[in-house]
Amino acid sequence: MIQFDYRNMLYSPQLKRALSPQQIEDMQGAIQEAHQEIEAQRKADILGFYALPEQDTGHIDSFIRQIDPRFDTMLILGIGGSALGNKALYSALRTERKLPRRVLVYDNVDPVFLHEILAEINLETTLFNVITKSGTTAETMAGYMILTDIIKQRFPDDYTRRIIITTDREKGFLRQVIQKEGYHSFIVPDNVGGRFSVLTDVGLLSSAFAGMDIAQLLKGAAAMRERAENSDIWANPAYLNGVMHFLYMRQGKNISVMMPYSNSLYDIADWYRQLWAESLGKRKDTRNRDIYVGQTPVKALGSTDQHSQVQLYAEGPFDKVFTFLKVQSFNHDYTIPNLHPDREEVSYLGGKKLSELLNAEALATAVALTNAGRPNASITFPTLDEYHVGEFVMMYEIQTVFTGMLLHIDPLDQPGVEAGKIATYALMGKKGYEEELERIKSLL
């Protein structure tokens, strides 16, 4: 079970401005209200991610069993919620779980990035998975059209077996494309928003392809959901972390730094960045009043960023709250040889494991930030495996919607990204956006 250590989030002689346990207790009414809102939305089938641990994944298992064993790479074309979860899961587990197949993600429209990916993959042994819930996202559609064209030209007789489309069950023009072309297809459920969709076909297919045990991912998620149903706030990591972040936001700590002490978990911090930013950064509350809330998520890497960011974290403005991610036991480790036993500058390192040094640095940073009066929490993964990653994903999805309820905003929408999408359509000449184009031109 992942361990959530919140001691440094609470008041102590070092953390004079930190929350007191009483302040958390005083939130019981609001916590109950937020919980009831979550329950109501679950009943109304709005928060579909809660039910994902029980889903039937037989279609994924049978697809993986029947694919040509020569396919060794899956290239995902998607963006935002249709990409970040795939990256997060694969990066977290590819080395520690010795995954036999590779997952790559093309999630930008940078031509150099595409060139590099095309140089890296073998078209012959790559499966292409276009993931888009709406089927209208310009970035994903551009990549889909370029790559489908390349694949069709190269494999005119069997291109269909190389392309997968993951999209809405019924809506969107890609469903018609699937029917016409006969591509393999998977589903983004209607009741699960993009950034909450990593435990649907969106993230499970690539994970199963890579060689992960997706049943364990879901088992971990189910276990965390159970912990998150505990009415004792102190034993409910998702609600507790949510309420603490909410209270720190009210104190003006508008930055939340997630700092994994593990390269494997760096992409999970990226997944968190989207979840936290897009879900909580809102202008309007649920009564349509302007409130302009949110907390800017930042990712940093331990120990690397100790030599880049920690100076600011320890001595800069009191506007941040920190979460360290740690791994207790690594499958791959190295002992530092005692090359210079007679030199005190380095001999203390001799004979120690690299993981010991890494975790000592994580603890040292937590101690230093605590002494500097900066609240910080730690989440420890006993090992990097599917079960613990599943727990983490469910914890943060629940924490995010719960915090959204405390803020009285809708954590599932993203009205602020619409304006940019509309301007892109106009600039790229999409039909129906002529007026918007004129408006933009008048500003240039």
| From candidates 79, 177, 198, 249, binder to ligand PA5 by CB under 6 A | 79
Place of tokens 């919980």: 35
| From candidates 14, 41, 95, 134, binder to ligand PA5 by CB under 6 A | 134
Query: How many Å apart are CA 267 and CA 103, to the nearest integer?
Result: 13
State yes or no: is 278 an active-site residue.
yes
Considering only residues 193 to 222 of the shown chain, the ones binding ligand PA5 according to CB under 6 A are: 193-195
Q: Which is nearer to ligand PA5, 271 or 324 (CB)?
A: 271
- Of the listed pieces 111-119, 191-199, 305-313, 331-339, which binds ligand PA5 according to CB under 6 A? 191-199
Query: How many Å apart are CA 402 and CA 38, to the nearest integer?
Result: 7
| From candidates 35, 52, 76, 81, binder to ligand PA5 by CB under 6 A | 81
State yes or no: is 98 an active-site residue.
no
Tokens of 146: 């370029």
Place of tokens 């029980």: 54
When asked if residue 140 is in the footprint of ligand PA5 (CB under 6 A), the reply is yes
When asked if residue 137 is in the footprint of ligand PA5 (CB under 6 A), the reply is yes
Residues 6+ apart with CB under 8 A from 444: none
Catalytic residue, from 37, 96, 139, 278: name it. 278
When asked if residue 87 is in the footprint of ligand PA5 (CB under 6 A), the reply is no
Least spacing, CB of residue 283 vs ligand PA5, in Å: 17
Residue 67's identity, in one-letter code, is: I
Considering only residues 406 to 435 of the shown chain, the ones binding ligand PA5 according to CB under 6 A are: 414
Q: What is residue 431's DSSP assignment?
A: T
Place of tokens 């935002």: 80
Tokens of 165: 């489309």
Q: Are 401 and 38 in contact (CB under 8 A)?
A: yes
**Cα→Cα distances 174→181, 186, 219, Å:** 10, 11, 32
- Of the listed pieces 106-114, 189-197, 231-239, 349-357, which binds ligand PA5 according to CB under 6 A? 189-197
Query: How many Å apart are CA 205 and CA 176, to the nearest integer?
Result: 21
Least spacing, CB of residue 39 vs ligand PA5, in Å: 23
Measured distance between the N- and C-terminal CA atoms of the chain, rounded to whole angstroms: 55
Catalytic residue, from 421, 434, 438, 441: name it. 421
State yes or no: is 307 an active-site residue.
yes
Q: Which residue in 271, 249, 239, 247 sits closest to 258, CA to CA?
A: 271
- Of the listed pieces 30-38, 115-123, 132-140, 366-374, which binds ligand PA5 according to CB under 6 A? 132-140
When asked if residue 82 is in the footprint of ligand PA5 (CB under 6 A), the reply is yes
Q: Applying CB under 6 A, which residues contact ligand PA5?
A: 79-82, 132-134, 137, 140, 193-195, 278, 414
Catalytic residues, which ones?
278, 307, 421
